[in-house]
């Protein structure tokens, strides 16, 4: 059994600069079994929370303790994140278990570093100035991480996060070190408060509420390079700048308006980044992206990446911020039975009532609809998922394009119509039977919707729809969704 008490005692002993007896925290962690990572991180979180609640601890001791907890927590959190993403298997740990502890750790570390700054502000010491710069850098990084992980779960970043991000940048700017590059930890590349802050602003402005999870990860990774192309300025230039942020408010950046004038505002010029992303989208279409991008394995991935980069180029541009809705929305509050995912939709269309669940429709337009529902525990709805909406005998097939989840369990969905009156069919190839949807009425004309892993241009299937059987050949890809494809097809004969 791991010596949790010994670890915490060792970390606090270091903070008090006492030699003491017993093993060091590093020695205790060297032989830690990986399946104990979550339990050890939980103990560190408890100790950090107790430290943050104790106002009697001096600045020097507090800072050393926080550093110690941070150094030991980071490798543990890295293991748990790999477990959450499915990149590593650890016996006894599941993705559902690990994320709350990782988020709690970042919350306590951010608060701990911010408390160090508060104590320093109450009794400034010249000897602590360099430490204050590093503390600010680490604090802003942990607040930004919390915001990123909110987007990865389709939540809004809480106002407290933006209050702290805006305030920490304001402190660094006023003290003159916002642009100063510092390695946040030993062995890591140097960065600055300004870089981390602009990264957080740009990730929010990338409209994560309508991105696939893997695309949010990609954008976050690439922003480390892209952020250098974006300036954050004190002087307003309405013809050049696109966004503004109010440092005095607990709010994210927003589209620049001409009345956003004053000392509290900072302005973002994202047009150079937009132009660069436009060039990158053309390079992606040719398959000639920089080495910082993971190589695309197939044409579909290459096309998806090109579309993502082109869309980001539009989002960060002045033209993009002048966009308007394609169709006017009409308010229409009503209840509709909803089925989620191709497999459940196929069963629901075949007569399975348990695969329908009640949602509330909020509005609709010529191209889509808005809905909301009360989520169950661990709701997994994501961008690109298929939905079927049933009203009386009328059924609409749609795809999730925008998603927002609240901490009270309410989920708001924006969906684009794909087709009406879909029919559940089966595609057979030898012993393989694939559930699919046939749609006669769609913007693509007659089409099939099937799992991505079962699609290949030119592949032949036997299409079974009730008593009817047809020999078909799949046509070119019409649209790629995260797990499904929309395909045309040709019929060779009827059986």
Domain holding 440, by residue range, is 423-494
Encode pLDDT of 165-224 as tens digits: 999 999 999 999 999 999 999 999 999 999 999 999 999 999 999 999 999 999 999 999
| Same domain? 141 vs 161 | yes
Predicted confidence (pLDDT) at residue 412 exceeds the cutoff of 60: yes
| Same domain? 133 vs 71 | yes
Going by C-alpha positions, the residue among 31, 153, 28, 158 that lies closest to residue 102 is: 153
| Same domain? 8 vs 126 | yes
Cα separation, 439 vs 449, in Å, equals 8
Predicted confidence (pLDDT) at residue 2 exceeds the cutoff of 50: yes
| Same domain? 412 vs 457 | no
Predicted confidence (pLDDT) at residue 28 exceeds the cutoff of 60: no
Q: What's the confidence (pLDDT) of residue 214?
A: 92
Predicted confidence (pLDDT) at residue 31 exceeds the cutoff of 80: no
Q: What's the confidence (pLDDT) of residue 341?
A: 95
Predicted confidence (pLDDT) at residue 19 exceeds the cutoff of 50: no
User: Domain containing 358 — which CATH number?
Assistant: 2.40.10.220
User: Is there a domain that residue 249 lies in?
Assistant: no
Q: Do residues 429 and 456 make contact, with C-beta atoms less than 8 angstroms apart?
A: no
Going by C-alpha positions, the residue among 166, 227, 241, 163 that lies closest to residue 195 is: 227
Predicted confidence (pLDDT) at residue 445 exceeds the cutoff of 50: yes
> Average pLDDT, stretch 53-67?
93
Residue with the bigger pLDDT between 320 and 242: it is 242
Highest mean pLDDT pick, 151-165, 290-304, 361-375: 151-165
User: Is there a domain that residue 489 lies in?
Assistant: yes
Residue with the bigger pLDDT between 93 and 249: it is 249
Among 171, 202, 233, the domain-final residue is 202
Mapped onto helix, strand or coil, the DSSP state of residue 456 is coil
473 pLDDT band, cuts 50/70/90, is: very high
| Same domain? 456 vs 367 | no
| Same domain? 452 vs 473 | yes
Encode pLDDT of 365-400 as tens digits: 878 899 999 987 778 899 999 999 998 889 999 999
Torsion of CA 331, 336, 342, 346, to 10 degrees: -140
| Same domain? 391 vs 433 | no
User: Is there a domain that residue 263 lies in?
Assistant: no
Predicted confidence (pLDDT) at residue 29 exceeds the cutoff of 90: no
| Same domain? 407 vs 464 | no
Average pLDDT over the chain reads 90
Q: Do residues 110 and 69 make contact, with C-beta atoms less than 8 angstroms apart?
A: no
DSSP 96-155: HHHHHHHHHHHHHHHHHHHHHHHHHHHS--GGGHHHHHHHHHHHHHHHHHHHHHHHHTTB
Cα separation, 19 vs 17, in Å, equals 7
| Same domain? 398 vs 435 | no
Predicted confidence (pLDDT) at residue 18 exceeds the cutoff of 80: no
Q: Do residues 183 and 189 make contact, with C-beta atoms less than 8 angstroms apart?
A: yes
> Average pLDDT, stretch 262-277?
96
| Same domain? 38 vs 165 | yes
Among 202, 237, 268, the domain-final residue is 202
User: Is there a domain that residue 274 lies in?
Assistant: no
Number of domains in the chain: 3
Going by C-alpha positions, the residue among 178, 280, 187 that lies closest to residue 225 is: 280
Encode pLDDT of 231-250 as tens digits: 999 999 988 999 999 999 99
Mapped onto helix, strand or coil, the DSSP state of residue 267 is strand
Cα separation, 472 vs 450, in Å, equals 14
User: Is there a domain that residue 271 lies in?
Assistant: no
Predicted confidence (pLDDT) at residue 17 exceeds the cutoff of 80: no
| Same domain? 478 vs 337 | no
User: Is there a domain that residue 98 lies in?
Assistant: yes
Cα separation, 189 vs 7, in Å, equals 29
């Amino acid at each position: 059994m791991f010596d949790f008490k010994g670890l915490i005692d060792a970390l606090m002993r270091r903070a008090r600069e006492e030699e003491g007896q017993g093993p060091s925290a590093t020695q205790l962690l060297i032989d830690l079994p990986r399946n104990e990572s979550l339990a050890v991180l939980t103990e560190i979180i408890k100790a950090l929370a107790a430290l943050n609640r104790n106002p009697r601890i001096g600045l020097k001791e507090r800072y050393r303790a926080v550093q110690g907890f941070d150094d030991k927590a980071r490798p543990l959190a890295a293991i748990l994140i790999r477990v959450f993403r499915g990149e590593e298997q650890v016996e006894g740990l599941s993705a559902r278990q690990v994320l709350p502890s990782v988020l709690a750790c970042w919350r306590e570390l951010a608060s701990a570093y911010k408390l160090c700054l508060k104590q320093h502000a109450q009794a400034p010491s010249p000897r602590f100035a360099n430490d204050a710069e590093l503390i600010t850098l680490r604090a802003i990084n942990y607040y930004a991480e919390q915001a990123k992980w909110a987007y990865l779960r389709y939540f809004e970043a809480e106002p407290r996060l933006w209050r702290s991000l805006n305030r920490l940048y304001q402190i660094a700017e006023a003290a003159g070190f916002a642009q100063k590059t510092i390695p946040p930890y030993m062995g890591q590349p140097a960065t600055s408060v300004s870089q981390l802050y602009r990264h957080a602003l740009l990730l929010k402005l990338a409209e994560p509420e309508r991105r696939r999870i893997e695309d949010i990860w990609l954008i976050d990774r690439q922003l480390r390079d892209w952020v250098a192309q974006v300036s954050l300025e004190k002087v307003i230039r309405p013809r050049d700048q696109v966004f503004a942020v109010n440092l005095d408010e607990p709010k994210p950046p927003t589209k620049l308006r001409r009345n956003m004038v004053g000392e509290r505002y900072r302005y973002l010029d994202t047009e150079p980044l937009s132009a660069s992303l436009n060039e990158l989208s053309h390079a992606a279409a040719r398959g000639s992206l920089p080495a910082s991008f993971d190589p695309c394995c197939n044409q579909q991935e290459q096309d998806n990446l090109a579309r993502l980069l082109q869309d980001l180029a539009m989002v960060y541009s002045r033209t993009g911020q002048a966009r308007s809705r394609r169709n006017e929305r009409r308010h229409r509050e009503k209840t509709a039975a909803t089925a989620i995912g191709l497999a459940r939709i196929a069963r629901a269309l075949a007569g399975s009532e348990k695969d329908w669940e009640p949602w509330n429709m909020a509005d609709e337009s010529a191209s889509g609809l808005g809905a909301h529902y009360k989520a169950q525990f661990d709701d997994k709805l994501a961008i690109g998922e298929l939905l079927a909406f049933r009203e009386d005998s009328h059924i609409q097939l749609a795809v999730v394009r925008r998603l927002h989840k609240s901490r009270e369990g309410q989920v708001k969905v924006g969906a684009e119509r794909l087709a009406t009156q879909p029919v559940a069919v089966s595609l057979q190839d030898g012993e393989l039977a694939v559930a699919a949807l046939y749609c006669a009425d769609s913007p693509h004309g007659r089409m099939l919707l099937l799992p991505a892993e079962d699609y290949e241009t030119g592949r032949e299937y036997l299409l079974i729809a009730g008593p009817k059987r047809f020999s078909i050949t799949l046509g070119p890809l019409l649209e790629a969704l995260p797990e499904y494809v929309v395909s045309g097809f040709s019929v060779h004969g009827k059986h």
